[in-house]
Structure 1
């Protein structure tokens, strides 16, 4: 038997989610059986798997104390901090690094952010593809995770990307094309029956048959920018899945030239009120800056810092 007191990080969370976090190796069947047999109690009363917890409540479970996860540790490499306070951590992810580990102990932003001895480990509010660089937001408390995740889903936070695309892109435009995903191939495609998807773009500079642009996501579908830009005939340079392999080879692009440039916060309240109307930026990475320079693209450097 073991018992624990609900922390402020788990206030408002479902009981089954909290149990799975504390005992990650516990079989789902064993947990549900304990609920059916009334062996899980909250403040002495029978508990239900989907009930919401309140800070300070005492939870009794029929298992031994969760062992310390000796495999959890900070992996090699560091994180470039854009901003950090007690509630969140904004970092600039390099291309080639996963947002979350794909195996236990694997290198990623989340594992590099591991805080030994902390009662709440940093959690990703947004995720980027492995080869996309730029802004990632990590929640450092349960309250900020719930608030920021909700705002991200409700599209209250503005996400702007830098993309280096093939061709002479029009000065600005809107791409309104629904998208569907093929799970077997992990490819996304334009489909009239798919989810509504909208992307805005504005060209910053052109040269050498390429254009550097700012892209604003109105929706946030998987691979949205890459598919939408390819759909209008201006694929992201270096994109093997949706782009032009011949041009990628000629230009020597080693990865999709896509960078999560900035995130802007709406009016916030409570512990996050200091973030109201703030914008955080991750400067253009070296490989994109070098590609621009080689092709005679001269964006406003002051703007891109």
Structure 2
């Protein structure tokens, strides 16, 4: 018989989800059979695949040792091949917020890129002693939001399972305010507005569709913008997202006639060539947290801003960005 004691980072998961990570050599069908026949018990009693695990739960296994991968040699974690270099804006025992450079992919892509933001975060946490994969039974620190490769800015990383759940819920409930700075190659229709539209991402390709009326497969999007400064055809725009769809800012502003400078998907090719810019000038600039309790309490009411937005000095040097109270 073997036993596993559920720790804080394992709690809150369904039993089957935990076992899939803790015992990857155990086929799902056989796992369900072992649970049904009481070869796997929770706190000495019959359990179900849908049981939610709690800290201190004891799982007992009356199954072959072969399923525990005891003879699998340890391998160097993949994340150690990525740099541990990060621009950390905020960190506590539960979360860290980093300023991602443009050009860095967030997760491994179709090209198998190893130098990703998530791998840099894992290497950083490993190097600082905050994460030891050998000591974890099922949890790996994770990123809670994502940005396109060529979009820079603030990304939240969860150091614990509890933080991951709470940040994800914060984003899902739209209580976390996310603000972006961008340069548009033409002025938006108004100096300030909050606009609704409908968004669809086709299964084929990586271009989204925007329309002003509902349609099959289209979901509502809600984008608020404010023009902070203008210089000839260029505008510096502050965008507040009220929904978070794929390419929402890029596609929605292009739909309004104000495509992002440098955008190679939705942008103005002539303007991009004229300025010699071929990546979207977009930065996830600021996060505004509501009143919070629990593991996120240290972030309650706080505003985290990226101190350096590279394209500002090029197109709008010396511009004064709005304080939180001005948004």
Structure 1-normalised TM-score? 0.89
1:301 Cα deviation from its structure 2 partner: 6.0
Structure 2 match to 1:92: 99
Distance 1:70 1:41, change over 3 A: farther
More deviation, 6-15/114-123: 114-123
Distance 1:182 1:291, change over 3 A: farther
Distance 1:231 1:105, change over 3 A: closer
Q: d(CA) in 2 for partners of 1:254 and 1:303?
A: 30
1:239 Cα deviation from its structure 2 partner: 1.1
Structure 2 match to 1:126: 145
Structure 2 match to 1:258: 282
1:235 touches 1:242 (CA, 8 Å); kept in 2? Answer: yes
Structure 2 match to 1:219: 243
Number of equivalent positions: 300
1:38 Cα deviation from its structure 2 partner: 3.8
Structure 2 match to 1:291: 314
1:203 touches 1:211 (CA, 8 Å); kept in 2? Answer: yes
1:97 Cα deviation from its structure 2 partner: 1.2
1:105 touches 1:111 (CA, 8 Å); kept in 2? Answer: no
Matches within 5 A, 1:122-271: 122-169=141-188, 170-191=190-211, 192-193=214-215, 194-271=218-295
Matches within 5 A, 1:55-66: 55-61=55-61, 62=63, 63-65=67-69
Distance 1:23 1:270, change over 3 A: same
1:71 touches 1:105 (CA, 8 Å); kept in 2? Answer: no
1:164 Cα deviation from its structure 2 partner: 0.7
Structure 2 match to 1:73: 79
Structure 1 match to 2:129: none
Q: d(CA) in 1 for partners of 2:243 and 2:276?
A: 31
SS of residue matched to 1:156: coil
1:60 Cα deviation from its structure 2 partner: 3.1
More deviation, 276-285/33-42: 33-42
RMSD (Å) for aligned C-alpha atoms: 2.4
Q: Which runs of 5+ in 1 are unaligned?
A: none
Q: Residue deviations 1:74-108, cap 9 Å, x none?
A: 31251100000101001001111122223778221
Structure 2 match to 1:113: 121
Q: Residue deviations 1:249-286, cap 9 Å, x none?
A: 21111311110001111111123212111010113432
2:185 touches 2:233 (CA, 8 Å); kept in 1? Answer: yes
